[in-house]
Structure 1
Amino acid sequence: MTPSLTPRFGIMTAPSQVDYHDILRVWREADAIPEIEHAWLFDHLMPIGGDPNGVAYEGWTLLSALAAHTRRLRLGVLVTSNRFRPPAVLAKIAATVDVVSGGRLDFGIGVGSRPGHPVARREYAAHGLPFHDTAHAVGDLAEACTVIRRLWTEAAPFDFDGTHVRLTGAFGNPKPVQRPHPPILIGGRASSTLRVVAEHADLWNIPGGDIRDAVERSALLDRYCAEIGRDPAAITRSIVLPVSYDDPGATRNAIGEALDAGFPHVILGLAPPYPDNVARWVAEELITPSRAHHTA
């Protein structure tokens, strides 16, 4: 994957408090609109907003269905909680989705929900999943990235004896369609996570909202890359920006700030209910004018 400062716009439809067919409608619309290059889901097993007992679809299962219903969009989960699935199982799931999509997967992964986010944290206890401390979770993420890449690329079974991950006779087949493997996007802003980003990521994602913080975190990532001898420009900077249907001008301003700050991979978060023809609206009201302004 060759990073580029050319803006690449996508959408995110959080698969919660919404009907499957509404998400499918938006993705099918977006698949026919070249200005929208990528589309994303999130990875929560219970709602983190709205009715706490409302609908929340499992991200990777839904992504596979949407992959089968689209032909052009790059697609991914923003971001997979590494706390939910053993890494070798996740590697198998992701390779399957890359095959189903014909090689369109961007592999998004992160540590998992913040310890101080009780609404998100409850889903771990509700599903019998452990919630280790941050140091454990970050170490687990680094080992997971190593193991997943090896399962995607190595031609023979291998053993892995890490601090957190231990595998015997590990082997991945089928391999992903993309060679050497799908691009790896890591999400997060913590310093410890950024060290993992520097070593393993092709893209780094941060939520929008405070562009100065995003710029400071990006500079810290540059420093961590330099410490390990990696070119910081090898990691594309990605940002999530919420879309205002009522005030598109504010969203365009946020996009402009992000592009000027060196974040060319822009993910526009769409809140349900989705208006009719929302993908076309995003292209005409947000992407086209932002791209024109940026290249003017």
Structure 2
Amino acid sequence: MTAPTQVGYDDILRVWHEADAIPEIEHAWLFDHLMPIFGDPDGPAYEGWTLLSALAARTRRLRLGVMVTSNRFRPPALLAKIATTVDIVSGGRLDFGIGVGSRPDPPEAWREYPAHGLPFHPPAQAVESLAEACTVIKRLWTEPEPFDFHGRHHHLTGAFGNPRPVQRPHPPVLIGGRSSATLRVVAEHADLWNIPGGDMADVVRRSALLDRYCVDIGRDPASIVRSIHLPVDVDRPGVTREAIGEALDAGFRHVVLGLPVPYPDGIAQWAADELIRPSL
């Protein structure tokens, strides 16, 4: 993951070009914040989906996505259209990441809502909205005829998606989050589930809770790939390697390495040599 903030476009493009040529690196990610959440609060922050489309056009092999899209930022029908466009530009390499959106704490992750005229709904309402959004987006990707949708949070009349994504029936859906309410949405809608690393005991408990929710609705828990985001410490690669080992032992086969800014030359090759290959 290259957070698109406190750096320039050329910096991110350089890292993605390098990673695109390294077979051990399978996927690359941006995040979805409209203002910085670390570093200089007045520093640059790029819009994730616009940047992702540009990077999709400049890479050839990497699977790619936004980890994770804030469902609070864009209406689901518009987001479905945006994601379809990126899947087409990339030749079918999109992993569609989505989540509830930032919590009201810390302040750095909340201020972007009033700063952009966006409402910040209570958590329960936001999770319900996410579930409806996942339903709407999948229908727009797959249904052959226009449809109406009237939920509690989203209302569409004559909704129809054309063109369709390259990937059929649709791009893989990755949902990020750790709350029990969000995990119920994961059980129903996700192909991959992502959680931030850190407290591995809690990560394991959340994974077990997801297993239970899957069983409750008759879904095989193994059908959801477990994904984890781990911050990279370039000064202490051994710490990151240890975290990768713990994640793999816990059944998390989709490991996202969060690179710190600024991105030095050769950072992708360094990550492959120091972190990925020793863990294979």
Task: Give the TM-score category using the shorter length.
Answer: over 0.9
Q: Paired residue for 2:110, among 121, 132, 141?
A: 121
Higher relative contact order, chain-length normalized (CA < 8 Å, sep 6+): 1
Whether 1:290 and 2:279 are equivalent positions in the alignment is: yes
Q: TM-score, normalised by structure 2?
A: 0.99
The partner residue of 1:26 within 15, 21, 26 is: 15
User: What is the distance in 2 between the residues matched to 1:269 and 1:101?
Assistant: 22
Among 121, 134, 138, the alignment partner of 2:127 is 138
Equivalence for 1:6: none
1:51 is displaced (CA, Å) by: 0.7
Which of 216, 227, 251 in structure 2 is aligned with 1:227?
216
Give the match for residue 159 of structure 2. Answer: 170
Corresponding residue of 1:250: 239
What letter corresponds to residue 24 of structure 1 in structure 2?
L
The answer to whether residue 198 in structure 2 is matched with residue 212 in structure 1 is: no
Q: How many residues end up aligned between the 2 structures? A: 280
| Partners of 2:176 and 2:51 in 1: CA distance | 20
Measure how far apart 1:86 and its partner are: 0.1
Match of 1:241, as an amino acid? Answer: L
Q: CA deviation at 1:115?
A: 2.1
Gaps of 5+ in 2: none
Name segments (4+ residues, structure 1) moved above 3 Å.
none
SS state at 2:111 partner:
helix
> Counterpart of 1:55?
44
| TM-score of the pair, normalised by structure 1 | 0.94
Deviation at 1:244, TM superposition (A): 1.0
Alignment of 1:151-166 (within 5 A): 151-166=140-155
Match of 2:263 in 1: 274
**Structure 2: how far apart are the matches of 1:19 and 1:239?**
26
Where in structure 2 are the equivalents of 1:105-116 lying within 5 Å? 105-116=94-105
**Structure 1: 5+ residue stretches without partners:** 1-11, 292-296
**Structure 2 Cα separation of the partners of residues 116 and 247 of structure 1:** 29
Q: Which amino acid aligns with 2:111?
A: R
User: Which shows bigger deviation, 194-203 or 276-285?
Assistant: 276-285
Provide the residue aligned with 1:261 in structure 2: 250
CA RMSD of superposed structures (Å): 0.5
SS of residue matched to 1:194: helix
Which letter does structure 1 place at the counterpart of 2:180?
A: S
